[in-house]
Chain A
Amino acid sequence: MIDFLGYMLVSVGIFFDISGCIGLVRFPDVYNRLQASTKCVTLGTIMILGGTALIIGTGAIAGKAIICAVFILITSPTAAHAISRGAHSAGISLTDKSIIDRYAEEK
């Protein structure tokens, strides 16, 4: 039963990771791509780590998986913020579909 739950978590995590990659290819500019990659890859990878911890089931592996999950949860949004701010400072404009850019107006 726990094995089944673990494999379910890994499968759903891989599905989210793949969707994030599809979004990374299809979205039009760097900011939208960051949205797709950050959200999906964070949750997808945490789910894969959690599923691995459930399947293997010993304390040591589970502890390492949880530490990795916490690191990803903290570093992934921070990295996305750094990249988007860097991209905006470097003058990369938003896609033509965008309707407003308050950051450029007020800088």
Chain B
Amino acid sequence: MRRVVYFIVALVVWLVLTWPFGTADSLQVILAGVGAAIIVSVMFHEVMPTEYKFLFSPVRVFWAIIYIPVFFYYILIANFDVVYRALHPKLPIKPGIVKIKTSLKTDAARVALANSITLTPGTLTVDLKDDGTMYIHWINIKSTDTEEATEYIAKKFEYFLAKIFE
């Protein structure tokens, strides 16, 4: 089942990348894509993520669609933040590495949280431990306490990601 899902995903990516099919060689291109997708889905199904079930649940897909604009809003804020700090003559930074603790359980949710934290204002995930501890490089530290830092950094995403992945 997992291999079938990865096969379909790989084939769709291939087809979009080679989309404007020429008349003469389109069959060849599609057959090459099928072959490559079979090889990829057989060889690499073990390293792929295992939590794809959320794709089949309408409620989770709905929350994922809600999450996209929220995510882009924070990315935009993060960019203006970096632009401000990079162009300010005095370079107003107060960096350091703080520790936070996430309540999310599944691997996919934690990876999504780590990537979301990296792309949002002033924070960069440095390391992630099995018990949910994350070390975050913060460009403008507001609190060095674990609880308060979690409140500032992770809470806004955890609400959505728990609904999508858990």
Chain B residues close to A by CB (< 8 Å): 13, 16-17, 19-20, 75-76, 78-79, 82-83, 85-87, 91, 93-99, 114-115, 118-119, 122-127, 135, 137, 139, 141, 144
Interface of A is mostly: helix
Taking each of B76, B95, B96, B119, which has the highest tally of chain A beta carbons within 10 Å of its own beta carbon?
B95
Query: Which residues of B are found within 8 Å of A73, using beta-carbon distances?
Result: 119
Query: Which residues of B are found within 8 Å of A99, using beta-carbon distances?
Result: 94-96, 141, 144
- Contact flags A22-61 to B (C-beta < 8 A → 1, else 0): 1100111101101110111011100000000000000110
Query: Which residues of A are found within 8 Å of B93, using beta-carbon distances?
Result: 27-28, 32, 97
- Interface of chain A residues 62 through 76 with chain B (CB within 8 A): 63-64, 67, 73-74, 76
Chain A residues close to B by CB (< 8 Å): 15-16, 19-20, 22-23, 26-29, 31-32, 34-36, 38-40, 42-44, 59-60, 63-64, 67, 73-74, 76-78, 80-81, 84-85, 88, 94-95, 97-104, 106
Check if A81 sits within 8 Å of B114, measured CB to CB: yes
Query: Which residues of A are found within 8 Å of B98, using beta-carbon distances?
Result: 100, 102
Q: How far is the CA of A23 from the CA of B76 in the complex (A)?
A: 16
Name 19 A/B residue pairs within 8 A (Cβ), A-sorted: A26-B86, A27-B86, A31-B126, A31-B137, A35-B82, A36-B85, A39-B79, A39-B119, A43-B76, A59-B19, A63-B16, A85-B126, A98-B95, A99-B95, A101-B96, A102-B144, A103-B97, A103-B127, A103-B135
Check if A74 sits within 8 Å of B115, measured CB to CB: yes
Check if B127 sits within 8 Å of A23, measured CB to CB: no
Q: How many A-B residue pairs have C-beta atoms within 8 angstroms? Tell me.
A: 134
Contact partner, A81, options B19, B86, B125, Cβ 8 Å = B125
Task: Kindly provide the distance from the CB of B126 to the nearest chain A CB, expressed in whole angstroms.
Answer: 5
Task: Kindly provide the distance from the CB of A8 to the nearest chain B CB, expressed in whole angstroms.
Answer: 14
Task: Kindly provide the distance from the CB of A71 to the nearest chain B CB, expressed in whole angstroms.
Answer: 9
Q: How far is the CA of A43 from the CA of B78 in the complex (A)?
A: 10
Q: How far is the CA of A84 from the CA of B135 in the complex (A)?
A: 11
Residue of B nearest to A63 (CB): B16
Check if A22 sits within 8 Å of B126, measured CB to CB: no
Check if A19 sits within 8 Å of B86, measured CB to CB: yes
CB contact under 8 A between A38 and B97, given known A31-B124, A63-B19, A81-B125: no
Check if B86 sits within 8 Å of A67, measured CB to CB: no
